[in-house]
Amino acid sequence: MAKLFRAAIMGPPGSGKGTISQRIAQSFGLQYLSSGHFLREGIAAKTEAGLLVKTYVERSMLVPDHVMTRLMLPRLEQLSGHSWLLDGFPRTLGQALALNNLYQLDLVISLNIPYETLKERLSDRWIHPASGRVYNMGFNPPQVQGKDDITGEPLIQHDDDKPEALMARLRHYKDVAKPVIDLYKSQGILHSFSGTETDRIWPYINSLLSTKMHTQPSDTCQAQTP
Ligand code: G5P
Ligand code: MG
C-alpha cells in the first residue's frame, strides 16, 4: 500500500492557500481540509462550535489554540487512512506542537507574497457569506456580477480587507507564523515559494509534489521559486 502523505500550506491572508490547495487536491487526490472554511461552515450551520468561533472569525482574529485544536484534530482522525492537506492549520506554534504530537507532516508549503499584491487581491475580493465561497473580480469573477454562482445570492466585501486592517493582519501573521516556520525548517520539511501570481508558482509546487509523493520521506531538500 502507498505511504500516506500529509502536508500543510501556510501563508498570509490572500496569499493563495485556498486556490493552490484546490489544485493540489484535484491533481494529487489528497483530502483537503481548510480551517477557515470549516469554521465558516460551523458558523453558517449555527453549530455549538460555530457560535463559539463566530466573533473571532468575523473580526479576522485568531481563534484560541485550545478551541482550534479541539475542532481540527478530531476531523483529522476521521481522515485516518487518507492522505491529506491542511490549509490554514496550524497557524501558531501551539497548534503546530499539538499536531506534531499526533502526526508527522511530510511537507509544508509556505507562500511569500508581497504586501502590495495581497492588498490588490483582497480589495478585489468578494465573498458569499453563507458558504464562504470567494471570488476575485480579476482572477475568478462570478458568472453574474455581484452574485454567487450557485445560489444567486448577493456577494459582500469584508471590512477587514480594507488597507489599514489588512496591514495589521499581515504584521500579526508574520509574528505568529515565524516560530511555526522555524519548527518546520528545523524538521527539514519546509518549502517556501515567492511570487506575485499563483499561476506562476503552481508549476513549482506541482513538480515538488510529484517528486515528493513518489520518493522516500527522508528526501527533504529546500525548494524556492526564483
Ligand atoms: P482563512 O479562511 O484561512 P485567510 O485570511 O488566512 O483566511 P484567505 O482569505 O482564505 O486566507 P487564501 O486562502 O490564502 O486567503 O487565498 P485565496 O482565497 O486562494 O486567494 C485570495 C484571493 O486572491 C481570492 O479571491 C483568489 O481568487 C485570488 N487570487 C489567488 N491567486 C491569484 C493570482 O495569482 N492573481 C490574482 N489577481 N488573484 C489571485 O481564515 C479565516 C479566519 O478563520 C480563523 C481566523 O479568524 C481567520 O481570520 N482561522 C483560524 N484561527 C486560529 N487558528 C487557525 N488555524 C485558524 N484558521 C482559520
Ligand atoms: Mg483560504
pLDDT in tens, the chain (226 residues): 568 999 999 999 989 999 999 999 999 999 999 999 899 888 888 998 899 998 898 777 899 999 999 999 999 999 989 999 999 999 999 999 999 999 999 999 999 999 899 988 887 888 887 777 788 888 889 999 999 999 999 998 877 777 777 888 888 999 999 999 999 999 999 999 999 999 999 999 999 999 998 764 433 333 333 3
Sheet containing strand 31-34, strands side by side: 31-34, 84-87, 6-10, 107-112, 190-194
Q: Which residues line ligand 1 (CB under 6 A)?
A: 11, 13-19, 35-36, 39, 56-57, 60-63, 68, 88-89, 91, 95, 121, 125, 134, 136, 138-140, 197-199
Atom of ligand 1 nearest to the CA of 72: 55
Atom of ligand 1 nearest to the CA of 120: 37
Q: Which ligand has its closest atom nearest to the C-alpha of 117? A: 1
Tell me, what's the pLDDT at 110? 98
Distance 157 CA to ligand 2 centre (A): 15
Q: Read out DSSP for 79-123?
A: TTTS-EEEES---SHHHHHHHHTT---SEEEEEE--HHHHHHHHH
Tell me, what's the pLDDT at 2? 65
Tell me, what's the pLDDT at 163? 73
Tell me, what's the pLDDT at 215? 62
Pairing assessment for the beta strands 133-136 and 125-128 based on DSSP bridges: antiparallel
Tell me, what's the pLDDT at 138? 82
Atom of ligand 1 nearest to the CA of 87: 3
